[in-house]
C-alpha cells in the first residue's frame, strides 16, 4: 500500500452508507495517549521526539489490529501529500507544521488513523461513515486495549490518562460527528443549535476542525471536556444531542419542501446547473453548491446523482487532491479550471 493508492479508492467514511448518512457524514472517536516516562511534546527536545517516533513505530508493528497499516513519516512525503492527508480528514492541520519526527499511521480503508507526535505522543482516531459513534468507540477501545499490552501509557489514578493539554486529561477521548445541516442554515436556526450545544459542554466547529469555518453547511460537533465521566457516558451524551439535531434538520427539510418548495427546488437546480456548466470554479463556491445539491439528492429532487458521488466530490475538488489527480503542482487559477472539469465529468 502507498499513499497514492488512497486517491484511486474510496474512503470508508465517504461511501454515504452509514446510519443517517443523509444528514451525518461521519462519526469519529479519538484517544490521546502519551508514553509513560517521557515528557509531553511541548517540552521534548528533538532527540526525545525521535525516540518517541521510534517507539511508536515499533509499537504499531506489534498490534494485530494494525497489520498492513502504513507508517508515514511526515518528512518522507511532500507538502502536497501532507495536505492531501488533511483533506481526507486523516490528520489535523497542525500535523502539517514542524514535521520533524511526526508520523501518521493509516489502514487501507481509512478507518484507523494514528498521529504520532502531534499534540500528544499518540492520537488514535477511528472514522466511520454516517452516525456510528458507538461502533467507532468499540473499535478504538479494542485497539487501545491491544496497544496497552505492549506500552505503558501515562496514567494517574486520580486524573486518568495524562495529556499535554488539560482539556484532554481523563479519558483522553473526543467524540465528534460531522453533520450536514443546510436546512437549519437556510432557516436561520443554526444559532440556536450553537447555543444549545455550548450549554451542554459540547462544541461546534467547521469542516477542518478548530478555527475553520462552516463552509458547505458542515458542522463538526464534539465534546469539550473528557474528564469526570466514563467514555460511554461522554459518547452517550453526544449521541443524544446529535439525535435531536438530526430530527430538527430532518423536520426542517420536510417543512421547506411543503412551505417553500418552489424556492428550494429552484435553488437546488440552479446549483446543479452552475456546477454542470462552470469552466472556472474555486473551492468555496464548489463546496457551497455541492452542499445544496446534497440536500437536493436527499430530498429526491436530483435523481441523476448519488450521495456517494457528491461526498467524493467534496474531497476530490480540494487543492491537494486536484494536484495529485493531475500528478503535478497547479497554480490556484489552474486548479479552478481543473476543478470545474472534474465536477462536470462526475456530475454528468
Q: Name the site residues for its own copies (rule: CB under 8 A).
A: 262-263, 265-266, 269-270, 272-280, 337, 340
Please give the Cα distance from 248 to 12 (Å, whole number): 27
Q: Of 54 and 261, which has the nearer Cβ to its own copies?
A: 261
- 279 φ/ψ angles, rounded to the nearest 5 degrees: -105, -15
Cell numbers representing residue 228 in the block = 469526570
Q: Which is nearer to its own copies, 232 or 276 (CB)?
A: 276
CB 15 within 8 A of CB 311: yes
Conformational region of residue 227, where left means phi above 0, alpha means psi within -120 to 50, and beta covers everything else: beta
DSSP-derived 3-state class of residue 151: coil
- Give the shortest CB-187-to-its own copies separation in angstroms: 18
Q: Could you tell me the smallest distance in angstroms from the CB atom of residue 333 to its own copies?
A: 9
Nearer to its own copies, 242 or 275 (CB): 275
The minimum distance between CB 320 and its own copies, in angstroms, equals 23
Residue with smaller CB distance to its own copies, 235 or 342: 342
Query: 257 or 315: whose CB is closer to its own copies?
Result: 257
Beta-bridge mates of residue 161: 155, 170
Q: Say which DSSP state 250 is in.
A: H
CB of 186 to its own copies, least distance (A): 15
Least separation, in Å, of the C-beta of 87 and its own copies? 24
Angle at 322 between CA 319 and CA 327, to 5 degrees: 120
Instruction: Select 142 or 341, whichever has its Cβ closest to its own copies.
Output: 341
Residue with Cβ nearer its own copies (174 or 267): 267
* Residue nearer to its own copies on the CB measure, 218 or 272: 272
How near is the Cβ of 277 to its own copies at its closest, in Å? 3
Closer residue to its own copies in complex, CB, 79/266: 266
% helix, strand, coil for the chain, step of 5? 50, 15, 30
| Cβ(258)–Cβ(272) below 8 Å | no
Cα–Cα distances in angstroms (integers) from residue 329 to residues 74, 83, 225, 287, 333, in the given order: 19, 12, 41, 22, 12
Where do the H-state alpha helices sit in the chain?
3-7, 46-62, 79-87, 133-150, 182-186, 190-199, 231-259, 261-277, 283-298, 307-316, 319-326, 332-347
Closest distance of CB 231 from its own copies, Å: 48
Taking the complex as a whole, how short is the minimal distance between the CB of residue 331 and its own copies, in angstroms?
13
User: What residues contact residue 3 under an 8 Å CB cut-off, 6+ apart?
Assistant: 70, 72, 77, 81, 84, 85
- Written as nine digits, the cell of 163 is 495529556
Cα–Cα distance measured from residue 316 to residue 294, given in angstroms and rounded to the nearest whole number: 15
CB of 284 to its own copies, least distance (A): 16
Amino acid at each position: 500500500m502507498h499513499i497514492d493508492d488512497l486517491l484511486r479508492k474510496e474512503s470508508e467514511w465517504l461511501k454515504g452508507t452509514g446510519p443517517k448518512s443523509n444528514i451525518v457524514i461521519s462519526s469519529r472517536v479519538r484517544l490521546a495517549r502519551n508514553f509513560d516516562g517521557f515528557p509531553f511534546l511541548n517540552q521534548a527536545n528533538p532527540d526525545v521526539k525521535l525516540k518517541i517516533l521510534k517507539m511508536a513505530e515499533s509499537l504499531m508493528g506489534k498490534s494485530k489490529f494494525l497489520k498492513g497499516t502504513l507508517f508515514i513519516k511526515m518528512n518522507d512525503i511532500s507538502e502536497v501529500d501532507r495536505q492531501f492527508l488533511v483533506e481526507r480528514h486523516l490528520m489535523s492541520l497542525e500535523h502539517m507544521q514542524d514535521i520533524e519526527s511526526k508520523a501518521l499511521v493509516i489502514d487501507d480503508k481509512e478507518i484507523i488513523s494514528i498521529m504520532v507526535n502531534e499534540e500528544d505522543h499518540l492520537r488514535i482516531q477511528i472514522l466511520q461513515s454516517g452516525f456510528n459513534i458507538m461502533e467507532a468507540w468499540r473499535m478504538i477501545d479494542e485497539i487501545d486495549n491491544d496497544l496497552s499490552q505492549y506500552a505503558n501509557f501515562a496514567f494517574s489514578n486520580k486524573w486518568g490518562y495524562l495529556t499535554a493539554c488539560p482539556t484532554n486529561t481523563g479519558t483522553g477521548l473526543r467524540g465528534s460527528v460531522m453533520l450536514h445541516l443546510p436546512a437549519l442554515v437556510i432557516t436561520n436556526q443554526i444559532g440556536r443549535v450553537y447555543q444549545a450545544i455550548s450549554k451542554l459542554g459540547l462544541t461546534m466547529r467547521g469542516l477542518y476542525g478548530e478555527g475553520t469555518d462552516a463552509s458547505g453547511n458542515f458542522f463538526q460537533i464534539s465534546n469539550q471536556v473528557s474528564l469526570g465521566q466514563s467514555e460511554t457516558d461522554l459518547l452517550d451524551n453526544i449521541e443524544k444531542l446529535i439525535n435531536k439535531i438530526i430530527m430538527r434538520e430532518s423536520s426542517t427539510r420536510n417543512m421547506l419542501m411543503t412551505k417553500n418548495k418552489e424556492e428550494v427546488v429552484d435553488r437546488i437546480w440552479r446549483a446543479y446547473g452552475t456546477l454542470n456548466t462552470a469552466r472556472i470554479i474555486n473551492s468555496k463556491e464548489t463546496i457551497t453548491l455541492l452542499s445544496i445539491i446534497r440536500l437536493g439528492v436527499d430530498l429526491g429532487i436530483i435523481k441523476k446523482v448519488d450521495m456517494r458521488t457528491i461526498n467524493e466530490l467534496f474531497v476530490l475538488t480540494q487543492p491537494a487532491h486536484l494536484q495529485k489527480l493531475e500528478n503535478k503542482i497547479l497554480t490556484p487559477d489552474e486548479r479552478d479550471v481543473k476543478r470545474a472539469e472534474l465536477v462536470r465529468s462526475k456530475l454528468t
